[in-house]
Each structure stands twice: as C-alpha cells, then as structure tokens.
C-alpha cells in the first residue's frame, strides 16, 4: 500500500500562470503553457513529494464567470468537481495587474468551497514588484500569501512550505495500492473522432472535457480503472493532426500527445467510422506505431454507418490497405456514445499487452529459425550469401530480437519482414510491433546447433 497523497487544486482566472506554476512545482513540463488565455482545459494530475509529504497537484482551466459558451460551462463544472476532490486550494494571482474583478469572482467561488487556501501571487520577478504589488492581495484576508515567480522559480520553496503547513491532519483520500501492474492505455487519433467520449464511456463517468468543437482536449488525462481485478491506466491524448497543419498552440498539444504515447503500453487507434480512415489517421497512427507500442484499432461512431453485407469486413480491408503497419492489430467497431461493444475493448487490450510483453525461450526460437530458413533460405546480394546462425530475444515492450548473421550486410530487408511474419504465425504477437536487430556474427558455428550454417 502507498501512502495517500494530499490533493492540491491550482485555481485562478485565465492567464495568471497556473500551468507555468504547476510545471515549476512538479519539476517538469506537463501542462501546456502559452500566452493565450484558456489554454488549459482538461485537469492534469501529477504526484510530487516535498519534505517527505506526497502531494497530488491538479492543474485545470481558468475560472471564468462571463463565458456562456459550451466550453466555458463545461470548464466551470469541471473546476467545481475538481475542487471538491481537493484537500487544499492554491489561488494564483498576477502581481502585474493587481486584483481584478475576475480575481474577486474567483475569491468568492473558493471561499464557498470550505477548503484551506494558500495564495500564490505570481510574476513577482523583481523585488520592486514584490514590494509594491503584494500589499493589494493582503486585503483578501488569507493567512498565507506567498510571492512567487513561476518563470524563474523564485518563492516556490516558500509556497510548498506554506502548502504543507496548511494541510488538514489527514488527506481526504484513503491509502491506495501501488499501480505498477496497471496496463497503460493511450487513446490516439485526430481531433473530434470521439476519444474523450470513448474514455468517459470506458471509465463510466465524465472525466475528460467533451465538446463537438474539434481540438477540445489539449492535455492528456490519466484515469485508473479496475476491470475484473485487472488495472488499466487510461490516458486521453490531445487530438493530433498532421505536422504540416500544426500551428501555434496546437504544436504543444501534439507534443503532449506524443509524450502520452511514450508513457503508454497499448494504444487505441480511434477512427471516425462515419468518415472512414483518412490520410491524417494514417500519418498519426504511423507516428505512434513507430514509437513501438502495442495497438488496437477502434472504429468509433459505427452506429452512424449504414450497414450492408460485409460492411465491417470491407472497412477492415480499407484500414489495413491504408495503414499496412496495423494489419496485425485487432479491429473493434464501437459506439462510444451508446456504449455498443465498448466492453470488448478490455479483452483486446489485455490480449495485445500479453503479446507486447511475451518472451520466447531462446531454444524454441532457434528451432523455429532452423525450420524457417530450411523452408525459405535468404537470397544474397551481389553474390554474397548471408548465413543465419543464431537468434535471441533481448527485450519486450515491444518484443525485440537480435539475429546473428555472417555476411550481415548481404541480408535483405525483405527477409527480416519474412522472419517477422513467421514469428507472428508461430507465436502470435498480435497487435504488437516486432523489432529484429541484425548483428554481424564472427562465429563459424553456433553453440546450440550441430552446424552453424543454417542457410543450406
């Protein structure tokens, strides 16, 4: 069992530097930072320890009262739900502007939340700013008012000390088991294919900000789910577009999506079934697949598709034709909105994860290699003949093999592909990339074979 952390929600009006402060406190760039107000829309959660005290920091969108649009309404609702989970609130203000009417509205809101409050007066980059601007915020009457510079890191240690001092006796969260055994799953796809709706359906509650506006999700969201005693950590990535279409703010969202993929074991490649697989889908999935993650293809919005005989089969063929690298991945047709067939994804995720972490004993591999080479020996290049001598698995996630070959530079790339296909036929490896690293062998014989020349 791990010690439960205290939960700290960072709140404030837009563009006061909440995400910059969040990144500074946890020591890494997680939340998107931009001068444009309203950049952070989803809740970002990271664990941090200060003087032996575990703290979960939550970063979220800026609190706005005036906005009446769908996005603003959703953000206010999500902020309220997040604050309800917190043990303490950090109110971030901007020392360069002084208290504004929007700040006063945030203060009214957090006073009603009945949580301990620490005020972080941000952008106190100089002593003069601190001396002239801090006094305006003391009139709010909060006990802990700390000047900080999120950009430069000034005052963050004092802020953390003030946070720990203001914590209640015990965190609101009970101790929780370690999650090292959870399968980490990232939802990948272009904007507006329904990734957040699918995540919400899989979690069973509204967790990720959902809107009909493309690009609503700009930061990843982590959610732990337990399904029949198997743990899954779901990560909702920002919608990724082709690199040629990434401009300004969106380039940060793409970077966040790629970082989320790096943290994942299994990717759900989400496609909009009502429009079919697109060139952008192929580019996005190709970027993700190259990073060496297992995958399941999820055709969403299948309820919107008019069905005929072999509709699903035809769709699968098109997907495999346009995304040849995914032809070993299972395909599921779902409706995130209605929940149709979503439950099948858990078994698919677990199955490809088993392939992703599968190890084959060296003796079995070399028995198979002998058979494969005997049935289909490699052709040489420019009169030089490669001699395959030995293979061993050196890693998992993804399964990676080292193949020792005499005259390795004469082994054609197509023969590596042939070996990968035979591996899949023999050992499964559904839904996972395979890696074969060819090394020049100096041995004339392999110690495991009577004859090291397997190409004859």
83 and 64 assigned to the same domain: yes
Residue 215 has pLDDT above 70, yes or no: no
- Please give the tally of structural domains in the chain: 3
Looking at the domain assignment, is residue 60 inside a domain?
yes
Q: How confident is the model at residue 181 (pLDDT cuts 50, 70, 90)?
A: confident
Q: What is the mean pLDDT of residues 338-360?
A: 96
Residue predicted with more confidence, 430 or 218? 430
Looking at the domain assignment, is residue 173 inside a domain?
no
Q: How confident is the model at residue 40 (pLDDT cuts 50, 70, 90)?
A: very low
210 and 156 assigned to the same domain: no
Q: What is the mean pLDDT of residues 181-202?
A: 87
Residue 448 has pLDDT above 90, yes or no: no
Residue 154 has pLDDT above 60, yes or no: yes
69 and 84 assigned to the same domain: yes
Percent of the chain with pLDDT over 70: 79
189 and 336 assigned to the same domain: yes
Q: Say which CATH number the domain at 369 has.
A: 3.30.300.20
Looking at the domain assignment, is residue 177 inside a domain?
no
Find the helix or strand (DSSP H, E) in which 82 lies: helix 70-85
pLDDT at 308: 83
Residue 32 has pLDDT above 50, yes or no: no
136 and 239 assigned to the same domain: no
pLDDT at 447: 47
pLDDT at 1: 46
CB contact burial 325-345 (16+ within 10 A = b; e otherwise): ebebbbbbbbbbbeeeebeeb
337 and 366 assigned to the same domain: no
How far are the Cα atoms of 36, 157, 261 from residue 290, in angstroms, in the given order? Answer: 32, 40, 11
Choose the final residue of a domain: 328, 356, 384: 356
Distance CA 254, CA 5 (A): 30
Q: Which alpha helices (DSSP H) does 113-244 contain, by range?
A: 127-133, 135-138, 156-166, 195-203
Looking at the domain assignment, is residue 178 inside a domain?
no
- Residues 235-291: tens digit of each pLDDT: 866 544 444 444 443 333 444 455 567 778 999 999 999 999 988 888 878 878 888
322 and 197 assigned to the same domain: yes
Looking at the domain assignment, is residue 58 inside a domain?
yes
DSSP 338-363: TTBTTTHHHHHHHHHHHHHT----HH
Looking at the domain assignment, is residue 136 inside a domain?
yes
- Residues 412-426: tens digit of each pLDDT: 999 999 999 999 999
- Of 111, 99, 23, the closest CA to residue 59 belongs to 23
Of 8-17, 36-45, 135-144, 194-203, which gets the smallest average pLDDT?
36-45
262 and 211 assigned to the same domain: yes
- Residues 98-120: tens digit of each pLDDT: 999 999 999 999 999 889 999 99
CB-based burial label for 68 (10 Å; 0-12, 13-18, 19+): exposed
36 and 146 assigned to the same domain: yes
Choose the final residue of a domain: 132, 166, 200: 166
CB contact burial 35-62 (16+ within 10 A = b; e otherwise): eeebbbbbbbbbebebeeeebbbbbbbb
Looking at the domain assignment, is residue 346 inside a domain?
yes
pLDDT at 236: 64
Choose the final residue of a domain: 337, 356, 375: 356
Distance CA 421, CA 438 (A): 16
212 and 77 assigned to the same domain: no
Under 8 Å CB-to-CB from 333, ≥6 apart: which residues?
273, 299, 302, 312, 315, 341
Q: Say which CATH number the domain at 333 has.
A: 3.40.50.300
- Alpha-carbon torsion 77, 43, 177, 160, what sign? negative
Percent of the chain with pLDDT over 90: 47
Q: Which domain holds residue 39?
A: 6-166
Residue 35 has pLDDT above 50, yes or no: no
Q: Which two tokens stand for residue 237?
A: 């990535």
Residue 4 has pLDDT above 80, yes or no: no
Under DSSP, the state recorded for 106 is H
Please name the residue that has the structure tokens 């088993």.
354
Looking at the domain assignment, is residue 175 inside a domain?
no
109 and 198 assigned to the same domain: no
Peptide bond into 13 cis (omega under 30): no
Q: How confident is the model at residue 183 (pLDDT cuts 50, 70, 90)?
A: very high
196 and 306 assigned to the same domain: yes
Distance CA 450, CA 277 (A): 50
């Amino acid at each position: 069992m791990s010690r439960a952390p205290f939960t700290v929600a960072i709140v404030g009006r837009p563009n006061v530097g909440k995400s910059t402060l969040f990144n500074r406190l946890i020591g890494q760039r997680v939340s998107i930072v931009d001068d444009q107000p309203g950049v952070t829309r989803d809740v970002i959660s990271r664990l941090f320890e200060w003087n032996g005290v575990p703290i979960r920091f939550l970063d979220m969108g800026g609190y706005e009262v005036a906005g009446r649009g769908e996005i603003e309404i959703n953000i206010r609702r999500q902020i309220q739900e997040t604050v309800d989970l917190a043990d303490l609130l950090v109110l971030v203000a901007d020392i360069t502007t002084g208290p504004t009417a929007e700040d006063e509205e945030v203060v009214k809101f957090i006073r009603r939340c009945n949580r301990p409050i620490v005020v972080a007066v941000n952008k106190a980059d100089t002593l003069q700013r601190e001396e002239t601007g801090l006094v305006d915020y003391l009139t709010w009457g909060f006990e802990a008012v700390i000047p900080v510079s999120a950009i430069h890191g000034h005052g963050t240690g004092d802020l953390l000390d003030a946070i720990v001092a203001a914590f209640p006796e015990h965190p609101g969260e009970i101790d929780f088991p370690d999650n090292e055994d959870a399968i980490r799953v990232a939802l990948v796809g272009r904007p507006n294919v329904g990734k957040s709706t699918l995540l919400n359906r899989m979690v069973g509650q509204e967790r990720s900000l959902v809107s009909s506006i493309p690009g609503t999700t700009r930061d990843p969201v982590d959610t732990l789910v337990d399904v029949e005693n198997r743990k899954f950590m779901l990560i909702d990535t920002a919608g990724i577009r082709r690199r040629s279409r990434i401009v300004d703010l969106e380039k940060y969202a793409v970077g966040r999506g790629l970082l989320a993929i790096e943290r994942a074991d299994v990717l759900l490649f989400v496609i909009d079934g009502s429009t079919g697989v697109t060139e952008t889908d192929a580019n996005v999935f190709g970027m993700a697949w190259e990073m060496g993650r297992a995958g399941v293809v999820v055709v969403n919005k299948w309820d919107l598709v008019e069905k005929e005989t072999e509709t699903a089969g035809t769709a699968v063929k098109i997907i495999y034709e346009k995304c040849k690298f995914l032809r070993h991945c299972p395909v599921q047709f779902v409706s995130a909105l209605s929940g149709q067939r979503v439950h099948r994804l858990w078994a698919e995720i677990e199955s490809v994860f088993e392939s992703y972490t599968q190890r084959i004993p060296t003796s079995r591999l070399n028995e198979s290699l002998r058979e494969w080479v005997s049935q289909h020996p490699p052709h040489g290049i420019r009169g030089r003949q490669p001699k395959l001598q030995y293979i061993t698995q050196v890693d998992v996630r993804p399964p990676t093999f080292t193949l020792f070959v005499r005259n390795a530079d004469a082994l054609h790339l197509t023969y590596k592909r042939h070996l990968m296909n035979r591996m899949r036929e023999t050992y499964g490896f559904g839904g996972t990339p395979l890696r074969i690293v060819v090394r020049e062998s100096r041995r004339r014989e392999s110690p495991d074979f009577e004859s090291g020349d397997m190409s004859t």
